[in-house]
Structure 1
Amino acid sequence: MAEKAGITVRTLRFYRERKLLPAPRREGRIAWYNDHHLARLRTIGALLDRGHTLGGIAELLAAFENGRDVGELLGLENPLGAPWSEETPVRLTPEELADYFADDVTPENLAEALGLGYVAVDGDDLVHVSRRLLEASSALVDLGIPLAAVLAAARRVRAHTDALADVFTGLLRTHVLADALARDEGGAPHGDAETAEVAKAVEGLRPLAKSVVEAELSMAMDRRIRAEPAARPKPEEHPGEPGA
């Protein structure tokens, strides 16, 4: 195992003592390692090459092992057909995640991303629920915004988008699905035609809701950007050196 991982036996034993590596399966005095151990050793080596300390790697791996399973994140079934989300999940090794966010890959940020449901654990890999969110988060960090601040903003955005979803589903429930919901409460069974009608209504709402939210957000950003110059102090209010 040490030879395959490109390390010494002494280093392998040291990683085991530091709890960086799960214990091998024992048969008498023989220790059996497997591909999971090899993947973990390669991850440790890659994270060390990227400047992480052994202590930091241990904390990252602990957060990694306590994360939500990918089945919990992606395995939800929608009774009305395909899920609304059109996002593409992205499979990442821990070192690939470090390539996206460099020093911002900390146990705290990983735990927050797991808690938000952005990432989940699948064997020795992570799965990010959305390529668009992953790339947008990375771009914000590249602009100089700490990942912790990006994730904190994501929680605020989540609250607002949940409220928006309530608005649109409320419209659908009140004005489109009222009769079907009333029959549900009365215990009337759904026929195939009725189920198809409900699914069609839900699917039809998808592009409309997206269009409204995107248009309103664009206009809101325009309003904020136009308001920014007015919010800045005038030069005469805070005199300084010429040209300041």
Structure 2
Amino acid sequence: MAELAEEAGITVRTLRFYRERKLIPPPRREGRIAWYNEHHLARLRTIGALLERGHTLGGIADLLSAFEAGRDVGELLGLQSPLLPPWSEETPVRLTPEQLADHFSRDITPENLSTSFDIGYLATDGDEFVHISRRLLDASTELVNKGIPLTAVLEAGRKIRAHADALADIFTTLIHTHLLPHDLAHTPTPTPTPTPTPEDLQRIAHTIESLRPHAKGVVEAELSMAMDRRVRAELEGRLRDRNGEQADMREEGEAEA
């Protein structure tokens, strides 16, 4: 227990308290010896990251209990709506601590784990991690393999998340302002919002579902064209710099001659 506490950067007293609250699984026992492993350490680091984000121990216990009972965290937090189909088509990925380390090697640090939890890329499920998206995991792994530090990848992910939220705001404003039933979208503020009928909800769900490919197409087209503009500008700038250096070298050679 003392070795685990030291490795996790907490006191033995805190570790005992976590055990009493059942925030970590019990150790493997051989007689009077209690053996802890990397799964316990990963759980402690997860708890530390969640505490840094402002979660209470009671809230963390609820989250971990929900994971272990097979409940969805969105359900626990009241974020899932049974009325509308999910827009996202992303597939979560379950990873053991060893598998996560295989993806990112030495870049698995408490700071990077904390950032991943903060952005929402990672969650915990028992002794395993759950990554929110197979595509995001694959892209992050490839960028790290190309030599970009995971810290920089996560910071880019945080910025992209902010821009994605802004894009989502634009699309939802368009839908709310122009496509929702008139009596639901434009009711004056002092008037109580009317309760939508099952037919209203079905129509809204169908409208949102039909717009999915168009919204994705707009974002992909704009991003592709923006990348073309930036890459072209970058290459032209480098070409100008190289031509300028060559011109300077020629002038120096002529001066020496």
Q: Give the TM-score of the pair, scaled to structure 2.
A: 0.70
In structure 2, what is the equivalent of residue 191 of structure 1?
197
Distance 1:17 1:173, change over 3 A: closer
Counterparts of 1:46-125 in structure 2, within 5 Å, are: 62-68=44-50, 69=63, 73-75=73-75, 76-125=79-128
**Contact 1:88–1:129 at 8 Å: present in 2 too?**
yes
Task: Give the total of aligned pairs.
Answer: 209
2:211 counterpart residue number: 205
CA distance in 1, matches of 2:19, 2:150: 38
Cα offset, 1:96, TM superposition:
0.9
Amino acid at match of 2:158: R
Report how far residue 208 of structure 1 moved. Answer: 1.1
- How many angstroms does 1:62 deviate by? 3.5
Identify the residue that residue 162 of structure 2 maps to in structure 1.
Answer: 159
Using a 3 Å threshold, how does the CA distance of structure 1 residues 18 and 43 change in structure 2: closer, same or farther?
A: same
In the TM superposition, residue 194 of structure 1 has moved relative to its aligned partner by 1.2
Q: Residues 186 and 16 from structure 1, CA distance in 2 versus in 1: closer, same or farther, beyond 3 angstroms? A: closer
Aligned-pair CA distance for 1:192: 1.3
Q: 1:73 to 1:132 in 2, by over 3 A?
A: farther
Among candidates 158, 175, 178, match of residue 178 of structure 2? 175
Match for residue 141 of structure 1?
A: 144
> Which residue does 1:43 correspond to in 2?
38
Aligned CA distance change for structure 1 residues 206 and 212 (closer, same or farther; 3 Å)? same
What is the one-letter code of the residue matched to 1:238? E
Partner of residue 226 from structure 1, selected from 225, 232, 242: 232
Which is worse superposed, 105-114 or 189-198?
Answer: 189-198
Structure 1, unaligned stretches of length 5 or more? 1-12, 27-33, 45-56
Aligned residues: percent identity? Answer: 44
Q: Which residue of 1 aligns with 2:6?
A: 18
Cα distance, 1:72 vs structure 2? 7.4
For structure 2, which runs of at least 5 residues remain unmatched after alignment? Answer: 29-34, 51-62, 251-257
CA distance in 1, matches of 2:26, 2:162: 38
13-22 or 61-70: bigger deviation: 13-22
Match of residue 3 from structure 1: none
Contact 2:181/2:200 (<8 A) preserved: no
Whole-angstrom CA distance in 2 between matches of 1:183 and 1:192: 19
Q: Decide whether aligned partners of structure 1 residues 237 and 167 sit closer, same or farther in structure 2, where only a CA change above 3 A counts.
A: same
The residue that corresponds to 1:150 in the other structure is: 153
Cα 1:16/1:148, change in 2 over 3 Å: closer
Contact 1:90 1:128 in 2 (8 A): yes
Shift of 1:220: 1.1
What is the Cα-based RMSD across aligned positions, in Å? 3.2
Letter in 2 for 1:94: P
Mapped partners of 2:45, 2:80: distance in 1: 27
Once the two structures are overlaid, the 10-residue window that deviates more, 212-221 or 98-107, is 212-221
Q: What is residue 238 of structure 1 aligned with on the other side?
A: 245
Q: What is the CA–CA distance in structure 1 between the aligned matches of 2:102 and 2:220, rounded to whole Å?
A: 30
SS of aligned partner of 2:194:
coil
Q: Which moved more, 1:208-217 or 1:220-229?
A: 220-229
CA contact (8 A) 1:73 1:120 kept: no
Kept in 2, the 8 Å contact 1:67–1:120? The answer is no
SS of aligned partner of 2:27: helix
Structure 1-normalised TM-score?
Answer: 0.73
Q: How does 1:2-17 map to 2 (within 5 A)?
A: 15-16=3-4
